[in-house]
Amino acid sequence: MGLVTWGRTGLAGNNAGPGIRSMASGIAILMAGAAAIALGAPAAKAQQAAQVDQKKKADEKASGDTTLLDKILVISRTGETAIQSLASASHVDQEQLDRRMATTPNEMLLGVPGVAVQADARRVSSSINIRGLQDFGRVAVIVDGARQDFQRSDHGTQSTFYVDPELIKSVDVIRGPVANTYGSGAIGGVVFFDTKDAADFLKPEETWAGSLTGRYESNGKGWTTSATGAYKINDSWDVLGNFVYRDYGDYKNGGGDTVAGTGFDVLSGLLKTSIRPTENSEIKLGWVGSKDGWTETSGSVPANDVDLKSNTFTARYKITDDAKSWLDLHINASYNKTLLDLTTLTAQNRFDPTTGLPVVLPAGSLSTFDVGTTGIDIWNTSRFETASVAHELTYGGDWVGDDVDTGGSAGGDSFYTPSGKRNVSGAYIQDKLTWEWLEVIGGLRYDNYSLKDDTNETSGDRVSPRITVGISPFESVGPAGLQFYGTYAEGYRSPSLTETLISGNHPAGVTFPFLPNPNLKPETGKTVEFGINYKQNDIIEAGDALRLKAAYFNNNVDDYIAGVTLSPFDPTSGCPFGPGIPICFQYQNFAKAKINGFELESVYDAGWGYAGLSASITNGHTISYEGERADLATIPSSQVTAQLGLRFLEDKLTVGGEVQYNGKPKGNPVAKDFTLVNAFASYQATDNLKLDFRADNLFDVKYTNALNGSTTAVLYEPGVTLKLAATMRFGG
């Protein structure tokens, strides 16, 4: 397969934690909604029974996957489903993604407990937050095995990634440092985006197929056009291509005001081929690319023209023995290249980044951000028994190298997103032991890092343990399907290039120095988690299913890194005293960040429809080495999300909605409590025509993302947005 590339087309502080009283009111609202679901279900069930053979439905449920929590996690290294995992794991599949009609990654992750997404006006770039941790690699974002490590320091999001939702077929999330087998530094967790495959697109009898999708959105008056094609060369080789174009204007918030700088146009694409040399082996080669453009504003006035191109290349190989016993080997290699050009649209009054003296930056000045990330990930799982104990022994290693080059004629930007190189690597071994009602997972991971620029160099290493114990005491009596587990896990994150090497003077507004800190200590996450998994079938009727996961966690991040302001009048601060220096900014270690919370994910699924409830409550603060406590700025809103979908016309028509309550984090200067209501409908009119409708923020609520509380200006999210799409499919 030929691979193609495309050419051109906050610095935060500390705050947050939720209000229990407002959360209780939100839960009360959703409990009322749940009652309505329960009352409405029998009528929907009766109508469905008149149209569909219930026995057939029961047989299908018994023979296949029943709910999202039963789907195998792509990210799992032992072939587990979310409900089987002794960890906080979630899966979002293609059906859910289609229903959400996502324009941004934020919409793909709606209702996933413990997960929030920060994006400023440039909506195509996002930073994922898990359990109050984000940016600088605390959350590993992976696309088809490739780490997304692009980073540009600003007042908003720091570590951003670019992927079009139309290219994605599923998303897996694992929360907490138990995810450290998936790469170094993921003390918050891992989010894995798996792109579409030809095997998922083609019907069993088809050699080729294609589809065309057109979608209109009312808010921003935007269009999305998508074309997908797949071809089966033979039974062992297939290929798929998908191209998407989006063109959106500035949206209006819930108050009816246009939010400047939120329009964008993006062209994205995917090429992927799968080759199966033998029955037990497979090679996947892929390319994912984006070519984006948008306008950044300053005080609602256009300030910078932004062009971004991102290309990700992946090669994945797996081979097993016939019984998947001793050999279940995976080898992944990847390269991600992200280039961002920032061109000033008007002359700007700035400060020279070296001298701090006033200068005029002429229109047309250019800043460039060039980040290349290379990765290799190898692991094998061996399955065997000793006495009556079953083992799943997983062992492997990984390496990721970041090469950052920033500069351009504008100056300034390269100082607070410094150039340099970083290498992180690790090796691990983990054994999952199963004996009747008892499961025990024990693991060790070794991490090593080094980073440097022209004048500084630092490195470090550590061994991090994990121990998990799960029991299923009621398999034969009482509440069968109930499982309890407890976990202690540690993770290790090296400082980033920006945190360590940032220097120069703030280029706009008020000038002040950024101070590098090559003596930063790495962060160590230490998490204790207690959880339950519950799995039960045939509760109300034959073929229905209930799945539930809940967990309480307590995470202590030792030597937590955050940006602080220093006074030049304090001789111990290290901030140089001099004329025109009001403050200094530097990344420093805190003794720890303490984060705790609760998460719930549940779904009931039957032939007539489904109902789901998820919730997450997160609290957090930092503690300095002197014992001073401060709210953590990256704590997201606590959320409760209820979902309901009803199926009619032999499952050709699905209608439903979502209600989500968001509670204001403690100490957040801009966030408020708010509730969003969404509605959707999907109709498979014929085998070749599908119609989708969605209404987001149905009651036009004016609200802001709590994670934007540390930015320089309040950004209000989109008001009511209507989406209408049609998809034509053909094949043979």
Over the stretch 87-97, which tens digit does the pLDDT of each residue have? 999 999 999 99
How far apart CA 142 and CA 400 sit, in angstroms, is: 12
Cα 479 to Cα 67, 420, 476, 482, 536: the distances in Å are: 19, 56, 8, 6, 9
List the one residue out of 492, 339, 515, 500 whose CA is nearest residue 421: 500
Highest mean pLDDT: which of 85-99, 158-172, 359-373? 85-99
pLDDT computed for residue 156 by the predictor: 61
Mean pLDDT of 9-31: 39
- In this predicted structure, the answer to whether residue 466 has a pLDDT above a threshold of 50 is yes
Q: In which band, very low, low, confident or very high, does the pLDDT at 711 lie, cut at 50, 70 and 90? A: low
Does residue 97 contact residue 196 with C-beta atoms inside 8 Å? no
pLDDT computed for residue 695 by the predictor: 97
Q: Is 254 helix (H, G, I), strand (E, B) or coil?
A: coil
As beta bridge partners, residue 278 has: none
- In this predicted structure, the answer to whether residue 327 has a pLDDT above a threshold of 70 is yes
- In this predicted structure, the answer to whether residue 30 has a pLDDT above a threshold of 60 is no
Locate 619 and state its tokens.
Answer: 């609290």
pLDDT computed for residue 40 by the predictor: 41
> Mean pLDDT, the chain, as a whole number?
86
Highest mean pLDDT: which of 26-40, 464-478, 685-699? 685-699
- In this predicted structure, the answer to whether residue 688 has a pLDDT above a threshold of 90 is yes
Highest mean pLDDT: which of 41-45, 48-52, 417-421, 556-560? 556-560
Q: Residue 410 — left, alpha, or beta (φ > 0 → left; ψ -120 to 50 → alpha)?
A: alpha
How far apart CA 226 and CA 216 sit, in angstroms, is: 12
DSSP state letter for 29: H
Q: In which band, very low, low, confident or very high, does the pLDDT at 478 lie, cut at 50, 70 and 90? A: low
- Domain locations in the chain? 64-731
Identify the CATH homologous superfamily for domain 64-731. Answer: TonB-dependent receptor, beta-barrel domain (2.40.170.20)
List the one residue out of 129, 242, 256 whose CA is nearest residue 195: 242
How far apart CA 72 and CA 393 sit, in angstroms, is: 18
- In this predicted structure, the answer to whether residue 68 has a pLDDT above a threshold of 90 is no
- In this predicted structure, the answer to whether residue 328 has a pLDDT above a threshold of 70 is yes
pLDDT computed for residue 708 by the predictor: 82
Higher pLDDT, 22 or 167: 167
Locate 38 and state its tokens.
Answer: 């329960």
How far apart CA 502 and CA 451 sit, in angstroms, is: 13
What percent of the chain has pLDDT above 90?
A: 60
pLDDT computed for residue 28 by the predictor: 40
C-alpha 126: how far from chain center = 9
C-alpha 203: how far from chain center = 30
Mean pLDDT of 192-197: 95
Strands, E, within 538-583: which ranges? 545-558, 561-566
Locate 551 and state its tokens.
Answer: 């967990």
List the one residue out of 196, 271, 284 whose CA is nearest residue 236: 284
Does residue 293 contact residue 9 with C-beta atoms inside 8 Å? yes
Q: In which band, very low, low, confident or very high, does the pLDDT at 310 lie, cut at 50, 70 and 90? A: very high
Mean pLDDT of 124-133: 89
Q: Angle at the Cα of 402 (from 295 to 172), degrees rounded to 5?
A: 75
Mean pLDDT of 158-178: 88
Higher pLDDT, 34 or 217: 217
pLDDT computed for residue 5 by the predictor: 34
Q: Is residue 10 classed exposed, middle or buried when 0-12, 13-18 and 19+ CB atoms within 10 A define those classes?
A: buried
What's the pTM?
Answer: 0.88
pLDDT computed for residue 505 by the predictor: 79
Q: pLDDT (tens digit, 9 = 90+) per residue, 271-288? A: 999 999 999 999 999 999
pLDDT computed for residue 16 by the predictor: 38
pLDDT computed for residue 476 by the predictor: 66
C-alpha 184: how far from chain center = 17
Q: In which band, very low, low, confident or very high, does the pLDDT at 710 lie, cut at 50, 70 and 90? A: low
Q: pLDDT (tens digit, 9 = 90+) per residue, 502-540? A: 887 777 777 788 888 989 999 999 999 999 999 999 989
pLDDT computed for residue 392 by the predictor: 95
Mean pLDDT of 224-249: 96
List the one residue out of 366, 368, 349 whose CA is nearest residue 358: 349
- Look at 382-386, 409-413, 576-580, 648-652 and tell me which has the smallest mean pLDDT: 409-413
Locate 300 and state its tokens.
Answer: 């609602």
pLDDT computed for residue 663 by the predictor: 95
- Look at 13-17, 287-291, 383-387, 580-584 and tell me which has the smallest mean pLDDT: 13-17
Does residue 89 contact residue 83 with C-beta atoms inside 8 Å? no
pLDDT computed for residue 62 by the predictor: 41
- Look at 68-77, 206-215, 297-306, 624-633 and tell me which has the smallest mean pLDDT: 297-306
pLDDT computed for residue 413 by the predictor: 57
Locate 9 and state its tokens.
Answer: 């087309």
- Look at 133-137, 415-419, 555-559 and tell me which has the smallest mean pLDDT: 415-419
Q: In which band, very low, low, confident or very high, does the pLDDT at 396 lie, cut at 50, 70 and 90? A: very high
Mean pLDDT of 18-35: 39
Map 609-678 to HEC letters. Answer: EEEEEEEEEEEEEEECCCCCEEECCCCCCEEEEEEEEEEECCCCEEEEEEEEEEECECCCCCCCCEEEEE
